[in-house]
Amino acid sequence: MPTDPLALEHTAARRQGLSVGLATGIYGISFGALGIAAGLDLWQTVALSLLLFTGGSQFAFIGIISAGGNPVTAVVTSTLLGIRNGLYGLQLARVLRLTGWRRAAAAHLTIDESTAVALAQEDPAVQRTGFWAGGLGVFTFWNLSTLIGAVVGNAIGDPRVWGLDAAAAAAFVALIWPRLRDRTGQVTAALAAAIALIAFAPTPAGIPVLLAALAAVVIGLISSAPSRARDLEQPEGDLL
C-alpha cells in the first residue's frame, strides 16, 4: 500500500527480521550437529529447537549433557538462561497486546532476536511487524538448519571461521542502535555493558546478562525522579 506512510518502515522491519533469521538460522546447523554429537537422537535435537526455541539455553543444555553432566543441571541451567526471555515478555506484552493462542504463540517466539528487531522500530505497529518477522524468521531458519545439521552433520564447519559469532554481536548492536539516541538509552546500555563485563569472569553463563537488567532498574528509578534526571542529563558527556 504505497499510500501508507508507514509502509516503508513495515517493509524495512520485515527485511530486518528476515536477515536476522537467516544469520541466526545458520547457527542451527552447528546446534543440530552438536546435539547428535552430545548423544541426543534426531528427534530430541529437533524437539529442543522446536519447543525450547532459545539458542543460549539449547547450547547450554547439550553442552552439559555432552560433558557427561547431570540432566537436572542441564535443565536448571537452560531455564536460568531463559529467564531473560520472561523479562522481554514484560515489555513485549505491552507492545503486542494479544490474548489467547496468539499470546501463547508470541510468548514462544519471545527471544533475543525477535525482541531486538521489535525494539529497533519506532512506531508501535511497526514494532509488532518487527517482532513477528524476527520471531518467525528465526523460527523457520533455526528449525530447518537444526534438522540439516542433525542429519548431515556440521556442513559449515566451525561458524567462527565465517565470522558468524561476530555477525551476531554486530546485528544486536545495530538493533539496539536506535535506542542509543537518547541519553537514558545510552546510560542504561553503558551501565548494563559495564555490569556484564565485571560479572563475566566470576559468575556462571547467563548470569552476567541477567545482572545487566539491574541497569534498567537503576536508571529507571533515577530518571523517574525529574530533578535528578536533569542532573543526569546535563553535564556527563564524558561518562560515555
Partner 1 sequence: MSTSVLWVAVLAACILGFATKYIGHLVPESLVDGPRRSRIIGLLPVALLAGLVVTQTVGGDDGIVLDARLAAVALAVVLLWLRANFVIVVIAAAALAAALRALGWG
Are 42 and 155 in contact, with CB atoms under 8 Å apart?
Answer: no
Residues between 6 and 35 that touch partner 1 (CB under 8 A): 15-16, 19, 23
Return all residues near 15 (Cβ < 8 A) that are at least 6 apart.
Answer: none
Express the helix, strand and coil content of the chain in percent, nearest 5 each.
Answer: 80, 0, 20
Burial tier of 176 (Cβ tally within 10 Å: 0-12, 13-18, 19+): middle
Interface with partner 1 by CB under 8 A: which range of 2-10, 142-150, 213-221, 230-238?
213-221
Site string for partner 1, 179-208 (x = CB under 8 A): x----xx--xxxxxx-xxx--xx------x
146 part of the interface to partner 1, by CB under 8 A? no
| Sign of the alpha-carbon torsion through 96, 100, 105, 110 | positive
Residue (3 or 70) nearer to partner 1, CB:
70
- Encoded amino acid at 136, one letter: L
How near is the Cβ of 26 to partner 1 at its closest, in Å? 10
Site string for partner 1, 79-98 (x = CB under 8 A): x--xxxxxxxxxxxxx-x-x
How near is the Cβ of 94 to partner 1 at its closest, in Å? 7
52 part of the interface to partner 1, by CB under 8 A? yes
151 part of the interface to partner 1, by CB under 8 A? no
Integer angstrom CA distances of residue 177 from 34, 180, 185, 186? 33, 5, 9, 9
d(C-alpha 100, C-alpha 113), whole Å:
23
Grid coordinates in use for 114?
A: 525477535
36 part of the interface to partner 1, by CB under 8 A? no
How near is the Cβ of 64 to partner 1 at its closest, in Å? 10
How near is the Cβ of 66 to partner 1 at its closest, in Å? 11
Residue (147 or 168) nearer to partner 1, CB:
168
